[in-house]
Amino acid sequence: MQMLIGGAWTPAAQGEVIGVFNPATGELLDQVPLGRAEDVDAAAGAAAGAGPRWSAVPPRERGKRLYAAAQAIRERKEALALLLTREQGKPLAEARNEILGAANVLEYYASIAGTLAGTAAALPGYGHAAVVPQPLGVCAAIVPWNMPALILAWKLGPALLAGNTMVVKPSRSTPLVSLHIAGIVGDACGVPGAVNMVTGTGSGAGEALVAHPVVRHVSFTGQTDTGRRVAARASGDLKQVSLELGGSDPMIVCGDADIAAAVAGALHGRFYNCGQTCTAVKRLYVEAPVYDEFLRKLAAGARAIRVGNGIEPGVAMGPLHRAADRDRLCAMVAALQEDGLARVVAGGGIPGGASPAGQFMEPTILAEPDPAAPVLTEEIFGPVLPVVRVEDLDEAIASANRSRYGLGASIWTRDLAAAARAAEQVRCGIFWVNQHLKIPPDVPFGGTGASGIGRENGMSAPQRYMETKTVLVRP
Ligand code: NAD
C-alpha cells in the first residue's frame, strides 16, 4: 500500500519501503513506504492547504460525513477485521470488535456535531460578547500498534469534527488497517488533504511530524518514554500536546465478590489482545479469605484459553505482536520462578504445538509475587498476570497506588460503600466497579501520573482540538 497525501495514494519521495509481517506466521503481508521528513512536509502542506475548505464545512455537515465514514467502515467490517488480525495478531472476533468500535466512535462524534456552536451574551458596560470556537489547524496523530483502528478513530473523530485537518503516523508494524480507514474517512470528508497518513518509523516520520512547524496539536498514544520525547520536541514551538501513555491497571477482588464473575473479568481483562491493552488488568489484589479459591479458578481458566493463529475458529488468544516482547516476557517469568520471587501456577512458556514461526506465549498466572518484582512495578505488555494476596481493602488500595502509572483500575465487590471508597482513593483516570476494560466513547478516557496528560473521548473531546476567540461588540 501507499501513503495518503493530499487525497492521493503516494510512494515515499525516496522510494524506500518497509515490510509488514504477520506475527502468527512470520509471513510478509505487504510493504508500505518508509516516509521521511520530506514526505511529512508534503503531508503537512496538503493538510494546511485543505484547512480552509474543511473548516468552512458547517459542523453538522462534518458530522454527517463522519457518519458516512462509519457506515463505510461497517460495510467493510469483515475485510478490515481479517487484515487487522493478520497484521496485528488478535483473534478475528476481537478484530471485528475493534473495527465496529472505530465505527461507533465516529458515529458518536457525528451525533454531537450540534454542540460545537459558540456562545453569545450581553455584557452590560461592554456591549455584546461572542465566544467563537475555532479549529487549531493541522493536527498530528501518532498511533500505536496494539489498537490501530480504534485509537485512530479516537483521534480522527474529534479533530475532524472540530474542523481541523490531520496528518497521521501509524505504527510501522500495523499500517495496513490504518491506511484503509484513513482512505475511507478521507473520501467521506470530500476534501482532499483533510486526512493524510505518512507511514514509517517513530524516529524518522514520527519525529519529523512532531517537529513540523505547521502542526499545532500532537495527539500521541504510546509508551511513556516515547511520550516524554514527543512532549519535549513539541514544546519548542508551543504545540498543544495530549499524551495517552502506558498503564499498570490494578484489579481488586474483595472477599464478598461474585468469584465466577471476577475470574471471568480477570481472564478477559488480562488476556484480551494477548495482554497488549493499555488498560489490561496488570496487577491483581485478592483478599485473603478468597485468594486460594480465586487463584485455583483463575489458573484453570488460563489453562483453558486456546492460543493460536487468530484467523482459526476457536482461538481465544493470538501471538504477541513483537517477537522480542515474547522472548523478554518468557525470560522474566523464568527468572522470577528461579529466584523464588513468584510461583508460576499456569503457563509460563511457549505453547506446545504452536507454529514455531509465530510469537506465541501461554497465558501465565504468577502467585504471590515479591512486591519489588518488575511484574508489579513495570508495565507488563503481554499475557502475564501476577496475583497478590492482601489482608483487607486498605492494603489493596495502598498496593494499587504503589505504581507510577494511573490509567484504569477496578474493584469487584457487592459492597457499594467499599466500591465508593476505592473509587475515591485509587489514583487513576478511569475506575470500574464489577467490570474492567470498558471504554465507551461517551465519557472521557485518559490517565494520570506516568499514564499521560489529557483525555480522549466524551463530549469535551472536540474542544480539545479548538481554541476560542472572544469578540466584544460595542453597538
Ligand atoms: P511506542 O511509544 O513505541 O510507539 C507509539 C507510536 O509512536 C508509533 O507510531 C511509533 O512509531 C511512534 N514513535 C516512536 N518513537 C517516536 C518519536 N521519537 N517521535 C514520534 N513518534 C514516535 O508505543 P507502542 O509500543 O506502539 O504502544 C504500546 C504502548 O502504548 C503501551 O505502553 C501502551 O500502554 C500504550 N497505550 C496507551 C493507550 C492509552 O490510551 N493510554 C492506548 C494504547 C496503548
DSSP code string of 405-428: EESEEEEE-S-HHHHHHHHHHS--
Q: Which CATH architecture has domain 249-440?
A: 3-Layer(aba) Sandwich (3.40)
Q: Which residues touch 409 (CB under 8 Å, ≥6 apart)?
A: 249, 250, 251, 252, 400, 422, 426, 428, 430, 431, 432
Q: Which fold has domain 3-245+451-473?
A: Aldehyde Dehydrogenase; Chain A, domain 1 (3.40.605)
Find out whether the beta carbon of 203 lies less than 6 Å from any atom of ligand 1.
Answer: yes
Atom of ligand 1 minimally distant from the CA of 278:
34
Under a CB-based contact definition with an 8 Å cutoff, are residues 82 and 92 in contact?
A: yes
77-88 vs 59-75: helix axis angle to the nearest 10? 70
Closest by CA position to 415, among listed 252, 263, 297, 279 = 252
Q: Is 278 a catalytic residue?
A: yes
Q: Write down the domain spans for the chain.
A: 3-245+451-473, 249-440
Measured from the Cβ of residue 338, the count of other Cβ atoms closer than 10 Å reads 8
CA 367 to chain CA centroid, Å, is 28
The active-site residue out of 87, 94, 98, 244 is: 244
The SS3 call for residue 108 is helix
Give the model's pLDDT for residue 357. 77
- Rounded to the nearest 10°, the torsion over CA 280, 285, 286, 291 is 90
Task: For residue range 99-123, list pLDDT tens digits in order.
Answer: 999 999 999 999 999 999 899 999 9
Measured CA to CA, the distance from residue 150 to residue 147 in angstroms comes to 6
Residue nearest to atom 12 of ligand 1 (CA): 202
244 CB within 6 A, ligand 1 = yes
DSSP 182-244: HHHHHHHHTSTTSEEE--S-IIIIIHHHHH-TTEEEEEEES-HHHHHHHHHHHHTTT-EEEEE
Residue located via cell numbers 483516570: 429
- Ligand 1 nearest atom to the CA of residue 279, by list position: 34
Closest C-alpha to 139, from 207, 208, 195 = 195
Same CATH topology for 3-245+451-473 and 249-440: the answer is no
The answer on pLDDT for 353 being more than 90 is no
Pick from 225, 117, 99: nearest CA to 161: 117
CA of 246 to the centre of ligand 1 (A): 8
CA of 202 to the centre of ligand 1 (A): 9
Q: Nearest residue CA, atom 10 of ligand 1? A: 202
Q: Is 243 in the pocket of ligand 1 (CB under 6 A)?
A: no
Chain segment 131-169, per-residue pLDDT in tens: 999 999 999 999 999 999 999 999 999 999 999 999 999
51's grid cell: 484547512
Tell me the best of 199, 210, 221 to mutate to test the pocket of ligand 1, counting ligand atoms within 8 Å of each CB and taking the most: 221
Does 172 contact ligand 1 (Cβ within 6 A)?
Answer: yes
Catalytic residue flag (residue 330): no
pLDDT at 355: 66
Which of 226, 228, 245, 378 best tests ligand 1's pocket when mutated (most atoms within 8 Å of CB)?
226
pLDDT at 358: 87
pLDDT digits (tens, 9 = 90+) for 2-37: 999 999 999 999 999 999 999 999 999 999 999 999
pLDDT at 429 over 90: yes
